[in-house]
Amino acid sequence: MVAHSKPLAASMNAKILGSGPTTVVLAHGFGGNQSVWDKIVPPLVQSNYQVLLFDWAFSGSVEAVHSLHDPVRHASYDGFASDLVKLLEEMMVKSVALVGHSMSGMIGCLASIKRPDLFQRLVLLCASPRYVNTDDFQGGFEDSDVENLISSIESDYAAWATGFSGLVVDPNHPASADKFCKCLLQMRPEVALPLAKTVFYSDHREILRDVPVPCHIVHATKDIVVPNSVALYMQAQIGAGKSTLEMMEIEGHFPQMTAPGQLIAVLRRLLAGASDSAAVGHIGVGARCAVEL
């Protein structure tokens, strides 16, 4: 079934598919749209989950991007978190399981702090609280890396989008890389540039201990965007409730596109509340770690 849409929901192309006692909200990351979940939705619906899909205000799939995307309000993740809260209210869903990919992981954390009643649990998929390295934190990027990235977007957005998609998506899946590239190219460069600055200069380490709902960190061990150390850091820092860590031995930043079978197996177990309890040891081939704090 497709749920009714109200103003914000319609603007964000929100829709509900399937039915079941648990609503799973799939939130895409930078440069994407809801189509990045195409391989994940059917198995979730078949597993009797109600699935909520939507496009963020920056997405090229949003028709009224200039009226929906506010350069001031969306200059921080807090504006997106407010959008998420309003969207869930409009769609009349609560106690949802949010699967937040990349930047949407931290947006979900912020939204859960604002309105814990709306969230049952968070699945933080290839998420990071900070991308730039510091003396005591390895986010994966030096300042110069981010400066070069921003400069490339400014000088030739189309060329940057083509190169970036080839880097962040598993190279063994060229069709998925092409699909993400098309999503990036749909974004307006004048929206993509400030958003890239917001994402890559963000720092949300201080909110992790305030997240009030259970969190499941799902990480790809060969993710060029988010190093393994970040997943371990988040697992250690999230304080309230129970946190688990799943290390999937796959390449790239988009497991929902390139390893959907593995991700679905993980999601089904986590959403059923059946994660194993085992201590994190090392990251090995096919490693799956579930740690409770």
Contact (CB, 8 A) for 217 and 244: yes
Catalytic residue among 61, 219, 253, 275: 253
Catalytic residue among 102, 104, 176, 275: 102
Residue 265 token pair: 């197996």
Annotated catalytic residue 102: yes
Annotated catalytic residue 223: yes
Annotated catalytic residue 170: no
Q: How far is 268 from 10, CA to CA, in rounded Å?
A: 29
Catalytic residue among 59, 219, 223, 243: 223
Q: Token match 């749209």: residue?
A: 33
Q: Which residues are catalytic?
A: 102, 223, 253
